[in-house]
Amino acid sequence: MKTLRSQSRVRRIIEENGAFLVAFVMHDGLFTVPPDSPDVAAMRARILQAQRENAEVSFEYDSDLNIVGLL
């Protein structure tokens, strides 16, 4: 699976029917933390914290904009 990395502040988070969608300042696409990800709770918590602190988060994602890991 091809993945890319990015680093950005969080613009906003959309929680929708159990999905956790993340809009980053440096991107137009909405990224997802897949609900079946083994680290889903920890990843969501870290992203929420980054949003609260207006801090950058480094992440790895696939071509479907699934966040596959936080760096």
Site residues (CB under 8 A) for other proteins?
2, 4, 11-12, 14, 16, 21, 23, 25-30, 63-65
**Calculated CA dihedral for residues 59, 55, 34, 62, nearest 10 degrees:** -30
Shortest Å distance, C-beta 31 to other proteins = 8
The Cα 7–Cα 51 span in angstroms is: 13
Shortest Å distance, C-beta 40 to other proteins = 18
Considering beta carbons, is residue 19 or 42 the nearer one to other proteins? 19
The Cα 44–Cα 65 span in angstroms is: 15
